[in-house]
């Protein structure tokens, strides 16, 4: 562990000199953790934490550098506190770094994260590492973004009124690899986004509408179409996410943000224009049970490992 820690820690005093010569600015003086944003000695974008606690050695493997970001950990000999800095390696990822810095600052303002700041920072950094690995260019495709919008609309407008905010957020399992987008104790919800007027949806796996755990489910079809930002009913990812995020508190916010990271989302100006701006026309729920005309694992030959199919909505019963 000591060897690994030596690889992670940079003992250069330049980082401390940079701080003293105002290359950084204090982001928020109202919280017990000092957070600085600025440029390091190599003139790279840098987010720096000054923490008056000992660094837990077991966290070293979780705070390693990547191609996008370098992690520096340094103990100040004079004061005994620790400097933890994240430095951008390539200017082409500046937008990603700005979103990362904003998200980290917001996250560390939560009082619960003061107790073990290094653990909290390591957890959130881990989420961003996953995001950067899966979407290096920083953008979801238009179809991915519309699918995410549909799931969030269902969370806000269908599931929250029925189950409450905490259960609605906790049930969002699609971004972490579950077969269905939302899973509760006895029912699942699978969300599909299609243009207005379309009477079928694409089912991407046998398991999507056939769960061995739940006897019943709901297929939720969200009809959305492209529009312009000036449309009074326009929906954008950021505005929709903000409407949900600011309605949540504490652990619910943390889970929500973690799922967004798993889905590959972080705020970008591109999501406010072009094909990313949509208008919702309706949300329709279809009941899926043992009598529904869908493909099931038990009804296909064992030699068929995976299957995709187009499902007619006319053949389904409304929930």
pTM: 0.71
pLDDT higher than threshold 80 for residue 132? no
Q: Write down the mean pLDDT value for the chain.
A: 85
In the chain, where the domains are located: 2-134, 142-318
pLDDT higher than threshold 80 for residue 25? yes
Q: Do 183 and 173 meet the contact criterion of CB atoms below 8 Å apart?
A: yes
pLDDT higher than threshold 80 for residue 226? yes
- pLDDT at position 117 is 92
- pLDDT at position 9 is 38
Band (47; pLDDT cuts 50, 70, 90): very high
- pLDDT at position 136 is 52
**145: which residues sit within 8 A by CB, 6+ positions away?**
237, 271, 276
pLDDT higher than threshold 90 for residue 170? yes
The SS3 assignment for 280 reads: strand
pLDDT higher than threshold 80 for residue 4? no
Taking the CA atoms of residue 58, residue 80, residue 125 and residue 12 in that order, the dihedral angle to the nearest 10 degrees is -100
- DSSP conformation letters of 212-257: SS-S-EEEEEEEEEE--TTSTTEE-HHHHHHHHHTT--HHHHHHHH
**Which class in CATH covers the domain with range 2-134?**
alpha beta
pLDDT higher than threshold 70 for residue 10? no
């Amino acid at each position: 562990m000591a060897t690994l820690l030596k690889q992670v820690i940079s003992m250069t005093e330049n980082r401390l000199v940079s701080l003293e010569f105002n290359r950084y600015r204090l982001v928020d003086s109202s919280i017990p953790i000092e957070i600085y944003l600025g440029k390091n000695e190599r003139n790279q974008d840098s987010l720096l934490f000054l923490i008056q606690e000992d660094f837990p050695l077991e966290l070293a493997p979780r705070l390693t550098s990547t191609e996008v970001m370098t992690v520096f950990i340094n103990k100040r000999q004079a004061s005994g506190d620790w400097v933890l800095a994240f430095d951008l390696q390539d200017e082409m990822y500046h937008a990603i770094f700005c979103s990362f810095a904003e998200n980290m600052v917001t996250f560390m303002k939560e009082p619960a994260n003061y107790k073990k700041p290094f653990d909290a920072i390591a957890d959130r950094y881990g989420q961003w590492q996953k995001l950067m690995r899966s979407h290096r260019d920083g953008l979801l495709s238009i179809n991915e973004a519309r699918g995410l919008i549909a799931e969030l609309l269902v969370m806000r407008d269908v599931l929250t009124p029925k189950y409450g905010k905490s259960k609605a957020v906790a049930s969002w399992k699609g971004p972490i690899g579950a077969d269905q987008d939302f899973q509760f104790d006895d029912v699942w919800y699978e969300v599909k986004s299609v243009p207005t007027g379309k009477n079928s949806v694409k089912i991407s796996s046998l398991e999507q509408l056939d769960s061995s755990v739940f006897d019943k489910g709901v297929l939720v079809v969200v009809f959305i179409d492209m529009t312009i930002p000036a449309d009074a009913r326009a929906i954008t990812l950021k505005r929709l996410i903000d409407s949900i995020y600011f309605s949540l508190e504490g652990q619910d916010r943390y889970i929500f943000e973690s799922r967004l990271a798993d889905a590959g989302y972080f705020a970008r100006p591109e999501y406010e224009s072009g094909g990313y701006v949509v208008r919702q026309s309706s949300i329709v729920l279809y009941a899926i049970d043992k009598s529904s005309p869908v493909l099931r694992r038990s009804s296909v030959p064992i030699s068929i490992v995976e299957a995709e199919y187009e499902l007619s909505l006319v053949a389904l019963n409304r929930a």
